[in-house]
Structure 1
């Protein structure tokens, strides 16, 4: 059988057609406004608080209907371009050891720093800046973009911290860093951080242990900017939203028992097609995304900058249960799809109006989960929205976003979907 032309392969990949937005069983409620460029919301499993990461270096803590400062790193964080405080992850044993991890770009060295902190006993609502421990420092080129920022622990693997690293920036990955096995940029990393004194060990089952060509910290290669990824909180499957360049956006998937070692193609490929900018090199043996979409101007476009999300396993919402939610930060649209055991989308739906309509959220920067698995959406406009079951009543009007009075909590995070 004659192989498909690359363009036909790309068209086949988007054959899961976008359904018209249906009458919705879900709705979005505005939780917080007035934040300073928020990039992430998260929480330890089972915790009833919400932690909001701001690009400017602050981590805010929302308790009930109050918001306070959990940690302030603003004096250490570079802010230009896509630099900033970019990620946060809680140790799976956070309730016992109080440990958490952050990813930021240092304002002096412009290096990526992954650090560990602990809470400040006996105050569980404030972190101790003096507890800082260096896990890893990664050199960056001078470009201000593609710094990654995703941090997470896979369910059932409490020792290993996962780190999403962008290619370091500029167009077409100068230096081909994402394909260079001796460079940690453009990669997914997996580090054993279970020690008590900082630093890391190499997990023995990392895919490149013993390789002369690829550093043992690396789990996967060929990523452009995996700014947001996630693990399915029930199955442990991995979903990666990798931001494209001029042509396509992609979502990658690994099953829970995947041994790693994938090469997702950048800079040789963009989504399922060869990089149209003619960078040269062979793309044989590289791993296709489970879904990709073209940029604006194409009839199947969803936008120009994918934001990876989560499979929903929070309090039951019939239209959301078990579906993967993601978005686009240029079009400010949100979507979900059901999928088969290989992560292939089956049914794609738009949920923008139901989830974000009237909220004032713009420049969609992230999705997040609270301790019970509720799904949140974050916009750099300073707004955080939570997904709730539709109450069958008129949507609450969006709060006033223009008073400039700083962060405000509009619904209690203890029960954000309550009456």
Structure 2
């Protein structure tokens, strides 16, 4: 089929309106420059907020934790369309602690790396660089990394930048730029392998990492957590923004058209061949915005009017749309007409959808937000100070002290236990607490030093690993620890004694 003129004037030209939704945005944090929002799939109720500057913060039970989960700010270039751009967690994160990051390095090229999380932070020394993509220009870095329902890692890459794809990368099968690539990063112990069912494996002259082609700058893609369908929002050039769709039964190989076409309009010439190109399921012209921000399909249960809707928006106008399949058509609705510029959407493990804008991160709801259920209900404060034991281990115990000084509220933990040989072992850890924190991870240290009353040489402290404390109620604390050669385990601590004046209420 050939296009000889503009066929697409407005998104509503071919999309049907749907019933109105009372969309409300509730700020959950005022953290700025958040460009990705993810959960770890570990039932921890944590949201991971990725900042373009190179830092990832944890939002837990409405509290922003003081210690960054990730800080690679010194090894990236940040600004414009460069920086720390995306993260995702291994589908087996609770077992292997693998975290994947996508960022712009100091040379201006984009990097896919794997890290290992230890407790509440990523070990910066654990980085394994999997892929480096040379970027000819500073813009159109893409992209998002997402694990699909097949366990493979998908990465959406921009066309290399400048304007109009001057190097022709999006239609060039010998470069990864302007492509959606698919990698198996989980089955090997190091590196990655190319899945045998990628569509261009063993095709001469075509990079076998490629899953789909013809993308300009896919700014946010996401899988429907129920159906497995993939939505790709591709930022347009002069006239149109578009949403591309890939059904869950796809075997790959789609060509989404750029730079032959921009949405449903010929781009390079007034007369173009659209044979074998996949048109978008939705688009809008630049009277309604200028840069699409891809979103999520709502699959939570708290806000039924949003169920099954793909929520997306525009960076420039702050407008938010809903897109929903209706037999063979896609219904569209404008849910918010204007607002502050938006950077990304994301979801928590319950399926609730969040939006990061220039003035913070917001929960999206169909009416007033409901109180979010959490696994913990009280903060770490002085009432928790006391001695704790674990059933069956009455010959050892933990002393927890929570107090305040000029620098803020702190926690100090002392654990008397035994090592694998049966020798006594003293472990200590301390840190400052965020306001209303109900969970904290401490670096625990082994005390080793002089004999009793031998004070001429101070005791040394040797790091053994991390230990996480989560408040269940005022008499119960759930802990997990990762101590390397000393072992890893989970313990439930029960209160044995109170500190006078700080009784549990």
User: Which residue number in structure 2 is paired with residue 290 of structure 1?
Assistant: 281
- Cα distance, 1:32–1:97 mapped onto 2, change above 3 Å: same
Give the Å deviation of 1:197: 4.2
Partner SS for 1:95: helix
Partner SS for 2:203: coil
User: Which residue number in structure 1 is paired with residue 133 of structure 2?
Assistant: 138
More strand by share: 2
- Cα distance, 1:285–1:391 mapped onto 2, change above 3 Å: closer
Q: Is it true that 1:383 corresponds to 2:360 in the alignment?
A: yes
Count residues with an aligned counterpart: 374
Q: Is it true that 1:324 corresponds to 2:316 in the alignment?
A: no
Per-residue deviation, residues 161-213 of structure 1 (Å, max 9, x unmatched): 10010011111111101111000000000001024543211101101111113
Q: What is the CA–CA distance in structure 1 between the aligned matches of 2:28 and 2:79, rounded to whole Å?
A: 28
Per-residue deviation, residues 42-76 of structure 1 (Å, max 9, x unmatched): 10223300100000000001122232310101001
- Cα distance, 1:48–1:273 mapped onto 2, change above 3 Å: same
Q: Give 1:171's match in structure 2, choosing from 138, 163, 166.
A: 163
Residue pair 2:233, 2:294 contacting (<8 A) in 1 also: yes
- Cα distance, 1:204–1:392 mapped onto 2, change above 3 Å: closer
Q: Give 1:335's match in structure 2, choosing from 294, 315, 321.
A: 321
Residue pair 2:230, 2:246 contacting (<8 A) in 1 also: yes
Partner SS for 2:191: coil
Residue pair 1:179, 1:267 contacting (<8 A) in 2 also: yes
TM-score w.r.t. the length of structure 1 is 0.83
Give the Å deviation of 1:36: 3.8
User: Which residue number in structure 2 is paired with residue 401 of structure 1?
Assistant: none
User: Which residue number in structure 2 is paired with residue 100 of structure 1?
Assistant: 99
Partner SS for 2:74: coil
User: Which residue number in structure 2 is paired with residue 7 of structure 1?
Assistant: 6
Give the Å deviation of 1:288: 0.7
User: Which residue number in structure 2 is paired with residue 398 of structure 1?
Assistant: none
User: Which residue number in structure 1 is paired with residue 114 of structure 2?
Assistant: 116
- Cα distance, 1:197–1:382 mapped onto 2, change above 3 Å: farther
Q: What is the CA–CA distance in structure 1 between the aligned matches of 2:141 and 2:37, rounded to whole Å?
A: 19
User: Which residue number in structure 2 is paired with residue 366 of structure 1?
Assistant: 344
Partner SS for 2:7: helix
Per-residue deviation, residues 285-338 of structure 1 (Å, max 9, x unmatched): 211111111112xxxxx3111111111101242320111111010111111122
User: Which residue number in structure 2 is paired with residue 38 of structure 1?
Assistant: 34
User: Which residue number in structure 1 is paired with residue 145 of structure 2?
Assistant: 151
More relative contact order, 1 or 2 (CA 8 Å, 6+ apart) = 1
Q: Is it true that 1:345 corresponds to 2:330 in the alignment?
A: yes
Give the Å deviation of 1:134: 1.2
Give the Å deviation of 1:149: 2.4
- Cα distance, 1:149–1:321 mapped onto 2, change above 3 Å: same
- Cα distance, 1:338–1:195 mapped onto 2, change above 3 Å: closer
Say which one has the larger Rg: 2
Partner SS for 2:306: coil
Which residues of structure 2 form unaligned runs of 5+? 371-433, 440-469, 471-505
Q: What is the CA–CA distance in structure 1 between the aligned matches of 2:24 and 2:12, rounded to whole Å?
A: 29
